[in-house]
Structure formats: structure tokens, C-alpha cells
């Protein structure tokens, strides 16, 4: 076996034996390889994974990772990797990914927008490959935001009507022009709740055109607290500005949003301050911008966390982070930059 590289099949054998608890000596004997080869192979294929039941990270040997590294190294023909000696670039990328919760695309856009200069310049795909191969210490694919899954939805001939549609306005009654996202002032509304036993709820608004985010901390997931929060917003900016800013609001059929009269009625006058529409049951895709924004919030406030322990300043920081986050949708611009470009 001298001077012969490990095959992909052998790597899967190593993975199986390693997970069964066999020693390096036993694995080397089973594959008729020297111990140094097995030691080096285990080092090459070590990666961090996440347990699906406990959500805890653990380190183990992965044959797929080792094979990808071997294939990539073979294509390099002995040449150094592009980021090999640029420790400043590596440290910056690591900080932005782990501390600032950025995606690889957002990191590269931030570098470009901020006119930062490094010896290394890589594209998004190359940076993803480096992370996938474990070439940036402490960063794995599990460190990154969840990849977006695109699924083709089956066409449904007949759609369910909204809950309480006989009393409240259904999304079907909403102006179809709002779907084009060409006008500012049409918002989606939702709540982000604490884990079991926790207190505190976030009332979140996402503007459909610019993806601007507003986050308010409220005491509970109740109609009273939701309506009271919206009343405070109107009192802070005035009825006229409220009508201009919040032309329509679209929400789901949660019990916290069922006080339609309280949400749409002004606290100062016997008049409407906005138009409220309810999505169809089990149709979160009708508030897609809202759902995507909630994923961004979860980078800073994990699922199951007690929201009541987070300060108002921290919530404000999360809101500003989202509004200043580089978005591929806007060619690298943040929501704030996109709004400024549109002079809104």
C-alpha cells in the first residue's frame, strides 16, 4: 500500500470504525495502513457537527469532509491556498461570521462597501468552499445561517378563507398592487415568543418594499399588549404620520391579532389609522418577508430563549443590525441604504 492514497471507500471504513470506538492501531490494521496515515487522515477529516436532538455541537471524523479536502488539495497541485498567509483577512472573516452573525456573502459585501483592503480577495463560492473544508479555524457550516430551501408549491384550485373573514378583511381583499412591492408603507406583522417558561414577546414589523424592520418588546402575547404597543407608536409619531407610514398591515390569525378594531382605530379620533388584513390559515408564505426577518432575529435571540432578559438597548441593536445588513436582494445594499437610494 506504499505511496497509494486513501480511497473514498477507505475513508467511509475509517469513519465507521472510528464511530465504533476502535483505536488508531486497530483501524490501521484493518485497512493495512500505517498508524501515521490514519492519524493524519483523522486530523484531516475532523469537523464540528450539531446533534439534531440536543442541538449541541460535537467533533467527529467525517469521511465526506476528508474526501472533499483531498479532492481540493489534489486540484491545487501543491500550490498554497489563496488565504494561506493572509491572517488579517482570516481573522476578520472569522469575527464577522461568529460575532457579527454575517453570512459569507454579507462579509464580502461589507468589505467592498467599507473599502477595506486585504492581501486576499475571494469570491463568495470560494469562501464557502474554505468554510466547508474547515480551512477557517473555529468556523463550520453549522456556524452559518441556515441555507434557504426552495420548494415548488403545488397549485391549489380552492384556497381556504381567512379566520373570521366574515368580520375581518382577508388578504384576498388587499389591493393586488401591493404584491409588486413598488410602494412604501405596506407592512407584515408577527410575534416572536420566548421558550417554555420564559416571559417577554417581540412584536415585529417588516416593510414589504425595503424589508425595513421594527421590533418592539411587549410583556405578553395578548391582544391588549399588541394593541397597546401600536397605540404607543401612533402617540409617538402622530396620526397623520402613522397613516403615511403604515398604510396597510398584514398579519396571521393568531389570537394576539384578533382585536381588529383596536389595531386599526386611532386613539385620538374616531377614525381608521391603517388597513388590517389577515392571511389564510397555515400560509406563512403570505408573510414571507416577515418570516425571513424572524430568522435574522433568531441569530441574536435563539429559539427557546427568555426574551424578558434582553434589554431594550439590545433589542434596538438587533433592529439596527437587520436594517444595516447587506442583502443580495438589493445587490449588497442594506435596507437603510436602499431606502436612502429611493429617497424614502
User: Burial of 38 by CB count in 10 Å (0-12 exposed, 13-18 middle, 19+ buried)?
Assistant: buried
Cα→Cα distances 59→54, 124, 142, 170, 288, Å = 14, 26, 12, 49, 35
Residue 279 CB coordination number (10 Å): 22
Is the Cβ–Cβ distance between 194 and 201 less than 8 Å?
yes
Average pLDDT over residues 98-111: 93
Residue 148: pLDDT band with limits 50, 70, 90: low
Please determine, for residue 288, whether its predicted confidence score (pLDDT) is greater than 80: yes
Average pLDDT over residues 2-8: 76
Is the Cβ–Cβ distance between 164 and 254 less than 8 Å?
no
Residue 343: pLDDT band with limits 50, 70, 90: confident
CA triple 279-221-204, angle to 5 deg: 60
User: Would you call 210 helix, strand, or coil by DSSP?
Assistant: coil
Residue 146: pLDDT band with limits 50, 70, 90: low
Residue 240: pLDDT band with limits 50, 70, 90: very high
Cα→Cα distances 323→54, 84, 231, Å = 32, 34, 23
Query: What is the structure's pLDDT at 309?
Result: 93
Average pLDDT over residues 250-266: 93
**End-to-end alpha carbon distance in the chain:** 69
Cell reading at 249: 398591515
The pLDDT tens digits for 62-79 are: 998 888 888 877 765 555
Q: Is the pTM of this model over 0.75?
A: no
* Distance of alpha carbon 115 from alpha carbon 106, whole angstroms: 14
Query: What is the structure's pLDDT at 160?
Result: 45
Who's near 275: CB < 8 A, 6+ residues apart?
A: 169, 174, 247, 248, 249, 264
* Distance of alpha carbon 342 from alpha carbon 336, whole angstroms: 10
Average pLDDT over residues 25-46: 91
Query: What is the structure's pLDDT at 168?
Result: 79
Query: What is the structure's pLDDT at 79?
Result: 56
Beta bridge partners of 215: 204
The mean predicted confidence, pLDDT, of the chain is 87
Average pLDDT over residues 271-278: 94
The pLDDT tens digits for 9-27 are: 999 999 999 999 999 999 9
Please determine, for residue 155, whether its predicted confidence score (pLDDT) is greater than 80: no
Pick from 228, 229, 196, 202: which is nearest to 215 by CA? 202
- β-pairing, 275-278 vs 248-251, is parallel
- Main-chain phi, psi angles of 54, to 5 degrees: -100, -15
* Distance of alpha carbon 84 from alpha carbon 78, whole angstroms: 12
Residue 158: pLDDT band with limits 50, 70, 90: very low
Helix axis angle, 35-45 to 24-31, nearest 10°:
110
Please determine, for residue 152, whether its predicted confidence score (pLDDT) is greater than 80: no
Query: What is the structure's pLDDT at 49?
Result: 81
Amino acid at each position: 500500500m506504499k505511496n497509494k492514497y486513501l480511497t473514498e471507500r477507505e475513508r467511509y471504513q475509517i469513519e465507521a470504525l472510528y464511530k465504533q470506538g476502535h483505536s488508531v492501531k486497530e483501524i490501521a490494521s484493518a485497512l493495512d495502513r500505517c498508524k501515521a496515515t490514519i492519524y493524519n487522515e483523522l486530523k484531516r477529516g475532523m469537523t464540528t457537527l450539531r446533534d439534531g436532538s440536543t442541538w449541541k455541537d460535537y467533533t467527529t471524523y467525517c469521511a465526506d469532509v476528508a474526501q472533499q479536502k483531498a479532492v481540493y488539495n489534489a486540484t491545487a497541485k501543491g500550490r498554497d491556498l489563496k488565504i494561506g498567509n493572509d491572517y488579517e483577512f482570516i481573522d476578520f472573516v472569522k469575527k464577522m461570521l461568529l460575532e457579527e452573525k454575517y453570512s459569507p456573502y454579507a462579509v464580502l459585501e461589507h468589505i467592498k462597501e467599507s473599502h477595506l483592503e486585504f492581501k486576499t480577495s475571494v469570491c463568495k463560492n470560494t469562501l464557502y468552499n474554505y468554510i466547508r473544508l474547515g480551512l477557517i479555524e473555529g468556523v463550520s457550516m453549522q456556524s452559518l445561517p441556515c441555507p434557504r430551501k426552495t420548494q415548488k408549491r403545488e397549485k391549489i384550485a380552492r384556497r381556504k378563507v381567512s379566520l373570521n373573514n366574515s368580520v375581518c378583511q382577508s388578504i384576498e381583499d388587499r389591493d393586488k398592487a401591493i404584491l409588486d412591492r413598488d410602494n412604501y408603507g405596506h407592512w407584515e406583522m408577527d410575534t416572536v415568543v420566548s421558550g417554555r417558561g420564559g416571559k417577554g414577546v417581540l412584536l415585529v414589523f417588516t416593510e414589504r418594499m425595503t424589508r425595513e424592520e421594527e421590533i418592539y418588546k411587549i410583556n405578553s402575547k395578548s391582544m391588549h399588549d399588541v394593541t397597546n404597543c401600536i397605540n404607543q407608536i401612533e402617540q409617538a409619531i402622530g396620526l397623520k404620520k402613522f397613516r403615511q407610514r403604515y398604510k396597510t398591515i398584514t398579519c396571521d390569525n393568531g389570537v394576539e391579532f384578533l382585536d381588529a378594531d383596536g389595531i386599526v382605530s386611532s386613539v385620538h379620533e374616531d377614525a381608521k389609522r391603517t388597513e388590517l388584513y389577515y392571511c389564510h390559515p397555515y400560509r406563512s408564505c403570505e408573510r414571507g418577508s416577515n418570516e425571513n426577518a424572524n430568522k435574522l432575529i433568531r441569530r441574536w435571540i435563539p429559539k427557546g430563549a427568555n426574551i424578558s432578559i434582553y434589554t431594550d438597548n439590545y433589542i434596538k441593536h438587533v433592529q439596527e443590525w437587520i436594517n444595516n445588513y447587506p442583502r443580495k436582494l438589493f445587490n449588497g445594499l442594506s435596507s437603510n441604504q436602499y431606502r436612502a437610494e429611493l429617497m424614502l
